[in-house]
């Protein structure tokens, strides 16, 4: 991971932080950053020590979206074009099975809202500014739309994507783009607090929650689905992790999860 040029990573305990780091470009995403993020996400996904992933922006801003210079290159292979490469990144984040916390500082524009919409928890600094700026440039927020609509709903998406207006952190919280808003000086403390709480949960169980929700939200409410959830619960209930969790609760002690001493 030390070979990354456009992102920085830091692992402390069971928490990994990934920093977008193209500060001279307000952390705008270019092909190298996207590929590095994809690689990093795969590494974190397969690292049993990592239970929580945090995505942040280095410097004064979270992310200015996709680098416009990248979008103007006309001779790229299809798989290297923003319209195809960015969805790969968004899907990787959306399907990341461990808790994903996105912390937003400064400006979050255009494609940055796709990164944010994939977060399970989104914290915003009081100074943060959000904008679906695509229509100001003659573009549309196509690749981020499946993730944004799932997070904030159809009507809010219409209003924000059509207007391209800049909204502050509190308005972002009201629309559902952000979950909590803090003064910038409190951000590190609040991130560490939530990461610590999540790290105490059963890591195997947490990895099953998001796939479960994705499956349930896509299916009709009928016996086939309830049979699926029953089978899932039965399998998990018989796991060593669940047995340890239940036993610890009955014995009024903290559970000892695999990797707790790492």
Whether 54 contacts 93, CB under 8 Å? no
Name the domain count of the chain. 2
Co-location of 30 and 96 in the same domain: yes
pLDDT for the residue numbered 1: 46
What is the rounded distance in angstroms from the CA atom of residue 141 to the CA atom of residue 125?
24
Q: How many residues does the chain have?
A: 262
Co-location of 192 and 213 in the same domain: no
pLDDT band at 2, cuts 50/70/90?
low
Co-location of 157 and 44 in the same domain: yes
Domain around 210? 201-250
Q: Considering the candidates 79, 126, 134, 222, report the single residue annotated as catalytic.
A: 134
Co-location of 114 and 136 in the same domain: yes
Co-location of 205 and 187 in the same domain: no
Co-location of 136 and 214 in the same domain: no
Task: Please indicate whether residue 134 is annotated as part of the active site.
Answer: yes
Return contacts of 249-255, CB within 8 angstroms, 24+ apart. Answer: 254/200, 255/202
Co-location of 92 and 222 in the same domain: no
Instruction: Give the domain CATH number at 72.
Output: 3.90.226.10
Co-location of 118 and 213 in the same domain: no
pLDDT tens figures, 41-90: 999 999 999 999 999 999 999 999 999 999 888 888 888 999 999 999 99
Co-location of 187 and 227 in the same domain: no
């Amino acid at each position: 991971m030390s070979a990354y040029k456009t992102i920085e990573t830091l692992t402390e305990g069971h928490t990994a932080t990934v920093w977008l780091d193209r500060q001279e470009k307000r952390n705008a995403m270019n092909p190298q950053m996207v590929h590095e993020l994809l690689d990093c996400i795969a590494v974190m996904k397969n690292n049993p020590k990592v239970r929580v992933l945090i995505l942040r922006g280095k410097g004064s801003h979270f992310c200015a979206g996709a680098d416009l210079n990248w979008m103007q290159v006309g001779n790229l292979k299809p798989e290297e074009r923003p319209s195809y490469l960015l969805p790969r990144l968004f899907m990787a984040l959306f399907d990341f099975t461990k808790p994903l916390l996105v912390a937003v500082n400064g400006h979050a524009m255009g494609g940055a809202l796709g990164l944010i919409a994939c977060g399970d928890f989104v914290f915003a600094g009081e100074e943060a500014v959000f904008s679906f700026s695509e229509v100001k440039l003659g573009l549309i927020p196509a690749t981020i739309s499946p993730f944004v609509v799932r997070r904030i709903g159809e009507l809010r998406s219409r209003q924000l994507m059509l207007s391209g207006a800049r909204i502050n952190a509190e308005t972002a919280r009201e629309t559902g783009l952000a979950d909590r808003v803090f003064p910038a000086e409190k951000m590190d403390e609040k991130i560490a607090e939530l990461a610590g709480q999540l790290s105490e949960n059963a890591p195997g169980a947490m990895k099953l929650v998001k796939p479960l929700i994705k499956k349930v939200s896509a299916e009709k409410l009928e016996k086939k689905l309830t049979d699926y959830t029953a089978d899932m619960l039965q399998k998990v209930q018989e796991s060593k992790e669940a047995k340890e969790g239940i036993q610890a609760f009955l014995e009024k002690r903290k559970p000892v999860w695999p990797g707790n001493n790492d």
